[in-house]
Amino acid sequence: MKKLLSFLLVFALALPAFANEGMWLPLLLGRNYEDMKAHGLQLSPEQIYDVNNGSLKDAIVSFGGFCTGEIISNQGLILTNHHCGYGQIQSHSSTEHDYLTDGFWAYEKSQELPNEGLFVRFLVRMEDVTNRVLDGLNDDMTEDERAKAIAEIGKTIAAEATEGNHYDANVQTFFHGNEFYLFVYETFNDIRLVGAPPSSVGKYGGDTDNWMWPRHTGDFSMFRVYADKDGMPAEYSENNVPLTPKHHLPVNVTGVKDGDFTMVMGYPGSTDRYLTSWGVKEQIELYGPAVVRVRDLKLEIMKKYMEADAATRIQYASKYARVSNYWKYYIGQTEQLQSNHVFDKKQAIEKKFSTWVNADESRKAKYGEVLEMFADAYAETNKSVTSGVYAREAGITGPELALQGLRFGRTMKAYFQAKGMMEASEDEETKTQMGDRLDAIIDAMKANGEEFFKDYNPSLDREMTAGLLELYYNDIPKAQHPEVLTAIADSFDGDFKAYADSLFASSFMASKESYMAFLENPVDSVMDADMGIALGEGMYAAYMGANDNAEVDDKLEKAYRLFTAGLREMNPNKNYYPDANSTMRLTYGTVGDYDARDAVHYSHYPTSEGILEKKDNDDPEFVVPAKLETLIKTQDYGNYANEEGELPVCFIHNTDITGGNSGSPVINARGELIGTAFDGNWEAMSGDINFEPEIQRTISVDIRYTLFIIDKYAGAQNLIDEMTIVTKPVKRGSWFSRIF
């Protein structure tokens, strides 16, 4: 069940495609090309996806594995969302240099800031390997045996694709194990921060406006890809140079109009559109509310400490944003699943499926038990889904000390095992080699400690530990309490504050000084007795135990695999798309307004005037910088105003996106950048489970507002100068010959 109840959901219902519904693999774009042309596309398929020549795909990157970015200059300049670069902006911030509050701009390349651990990944090619994988499977396999066989075959195919080159590769599963594709990537690890507006621009509206329309948010940040002198991936070095990409996106500042063609290319994370009515009911009644309850408390505690201390505000800014985003997401999803009657829509699909199956004996033999399998499996998961959420949200990802203790303990156990082997060895060369390995482990753990404690407040985490464990204890039935929670309650008579006080007073994991002191003289008995490490191990066991029901997992996986295959067989003339799984996709549609509810109509764009209408400098979410206010009041918009003299800030269009698409380029019919996608709209928060064609919208920053902030607000003319700016529409052929 863990694959259906975690953030790792990657496959879902591929419904009949509207022009604006579907997350399409670029390799299979031929299935949609005529429809795209009919809606205004002026590019050839090869200009979108080509293995041998530069194409749009070569300007799109997976940004850190969690967002999307686009290359917008021939010097490797990346544009993505502010919230995608937020962790890096925060990591470079301090009370002396508060880039979160003030913004950051590199006016020359020597000022750009490196980011350890950040990478971007370019797609080299993709390939359909379905037949090769299926040849290694058979109907007698259990789902577990099938998964293991798929993994082994995938490893073999990936190894062949990367032999003799520097690429990465993997084989991904689509349509619940019915199709398989190979993806080959080129990964760059020297990525530097170039520019970011202040949070009062990049996060304007904060949690209040998140997922809402209209938006007035300049949600963008800028980075640069560096490579060695030969253009090859390399670790950070002062000798590295900006990457010359195979393709970069021209930037069009002529603006968008209602009905304009748009397409979005990026790396959507996961959707769940194959979720059945039983799954929808579980999401509404159990899963979503459980996530919200735990995150309510997390946010309350973090906010209290952040408001009391500037250093803590900077330390926890990125952590708070991560928790908050999906806190509000699940509030909205639960509400809109009900408002949009998704349960009823799923039941209608299942009714048609049942009728189709029962009309043919061979279909009954293959698919006849599928719906019953769903009913039986969800009857079991309903009993434990809430405890599974708490094991993750209040347990292993709850107290920071717990997860850090788990990681530290696992690494140091390997250290002590290696130390014992070294001491037992009589070979001096072996002892020397193992001694070097031990030193490397200690150095790595010291570096890990520096990174962890840089953004850690023990007082905050102590209160978080007490609060989350008490919530876990009170909300989950005692029969489902993990051993660690029961032991803590028994030892401290249910006083979780007393436990937290004891934990933080005794564990060497609770402070940088005691952590580093242990590493100077590691003793295994001290580590084994540490309460912080014990909490981490206990919470990990709780998480794994809450998600360990192999029989139910197998039943659900088989049911979804057969259900997916059956639906596609039932509708052979429909163009199905695979659900999101962090692989490159293209979605297309048009700019357009919508009716949110009775008597509420939303235009397709807001202007900078709305920024001042929302302004409240006593509310951190709606602070307007003085310089920006002056620029708006004087209408000093430069070349970025529209024909009416307004400065558009954002726009909406009916493309199909989800998490992971954040930072994705919005591209016009000619392959030019017109905006950056960053959100969806509240009325369609059920869209990851069921696309809502009438009301579902992508919210994007208008590229004109982005350039206005870079140019007029930040004065970073150096960045404007390296872009290819399109100031008026060009005839087909003239631009392509220069760019492609």
Q: Give CA–CA dist 561/141, Å, rounded.
A: 13
Q: How far apart are CA 71 and CA 77, in angstroms?
A: 5
Q: How far apart are CA 28 and CA 724, in angstroms?
A: 29
Catalytic residue among 50, 58, 98, 219: 219
What SS3 string covers 130-141? Answer: HHHHHCCCCCCC
Contacts of 48 (CB under 8 A, 6+ apart): 26, 29, 55, 56, 57, 265, 586, 671
R_g over Cα of the chain = 27
Residue 219 annotated in active site: yes
**What kind and span of H or E run contains 366?**
helix 361-367
Active site includes 83? Answer: yes
Identify whether the C-beta of residue 398 lies closer than 8 Å to the C-beta of residue 465: yes
Beta strands (DSSP E) in 580-624 are 585-590, 594-597, 600-602
Q: Which of 516, 494, 497 is nearest to 505 (CA)?
A: 497
Taking the mean position of all CA atoms in its chain, how far away is CA 88? 15
Q: Are strands 60-63 and 600-602 parallel, antiparallel or unpaired?
A: unpaired
Q: Which residues, 6 or more positions from 317, have their beta carbon under 8 angstroms from its beta carbon?
A: 86, 90, 93, 100, 199, 306
- Catalytic annotation, pick one of 91, 318, 662, 686: 662
Lookup: tokens for 622? 């709606």
Max Cα separation, the chain?
A: 84
For residues 606 and 209, the answer to whether their CB atoms sit within 8 Å is no
Helix residue spans in 507-644 (DSSP H):
512-520, 524-528, 531-546, 550-570, 609-614, 626-633
The strand pairing partners of 128, in sequence order, are 181
DSSP for 158-211, written as a single string: HHHHHTTSS-EEEEEEETTTTEEEEEEEEEE-EEEEEEE--HHHHTTTHHHHTT
Question: CB of 248 within 8 A of CB of 75?
Answer: no
Give the helix/strand (H/E) hosting 334: helix 310-339
Question: Which of 180, 215, 191, 3 lies closest to 85, judged by CA?
Answer: 191
Tokens of 124: 């080299």
The length of the chain in residues reads 740
Residue 325 CB partners (closer than 8 Å, separation 6+):
83, 210
Tell me phi and psi for residue 86, to 5 degrees.
-60, -40
For 675-698, give one letter per residue: b (16+ CB within 10 A) or e.
bbbbbbbbbbbbbbbbbbbebbbb
* Angle, CA 309 vertex, CA 298 and CA 471 arms, to 5°: 20
Can 525 be counted among the known catalytic residues? no
Residue 245: phi and psi, rounded to 5, are -75, 165
Token pair of 179 as six digits: 């199709």
Q: Using alpha carbons only, give the angle 135, 138, 139 rounded to the nearest 5 degrees.
A: 145
**Annotated active-site positions, please?**
83, 219, 662
